[in-house]
Amino acid sequence: MGAASEIPPPVIRREDEGRKLGRIRLHLVSSNFGSVENVSATGAQLVCRGFRSPISRRDSIALVIDGLDGPIRIAAQAIWVKRRGLFRHVVGVEFCDPDTTARRGLIELVRRAPMNEIYARCEGLRKSA
């Protein structure tokens, strides 16, 4: 089997959930609140570390995602917060009317989503050399 058969499908969509759009799984993408697990056109899922979550339900936040071409700044609102383990929280955020620059940055990030793990591996090899 080729390498393409080993890559999991990036779009996550289940019929039992009330999501409007599918989600794109991301690897090694961080933000100012933690790592970004997946993203869609309307929101994202963040994993925050710490004993207490830095974000509460219905908080308005200024999210800064580390994109491949620079930071992506988006106003967002926390829709739900769930505890995952002792020092981790998962937060679902909804984007609040992102501007064209933020949309363009998200599109570029999603287009390169299957490749971010490969980029990170190359960076790790360069740093250790």
Looking up residue 40, the CATH number of its domain turns out to be 2.40.10.220
pLDDT exceeds cutoff 70 at 33: yes
**Domain range for 76:** 21-128
In a domain, 15, yes or no: no
CA 15 – CA 17 distance, rounded (Å) = 5
In a domain, 105, yes or no: yes
CA 9 – CA 72 distance, rounded (Å) = 25
In a domain, 93, yes or no: yes
Give the mean pLDDT of 62-73: 90
For the CA atoms of 114, 117, 123, 129, the dihedral, rounded to the nearest 10 degrees, stands at -130
Cα–Cα separations (whole angstroms), residue 125 to 3, 22, 30, 70? 21, 33, 20, 22
Give the mean pLDDT of 66-94: 91
In a domain, 95, yes or no: yes
pLDDT in the model for residue 17: 52
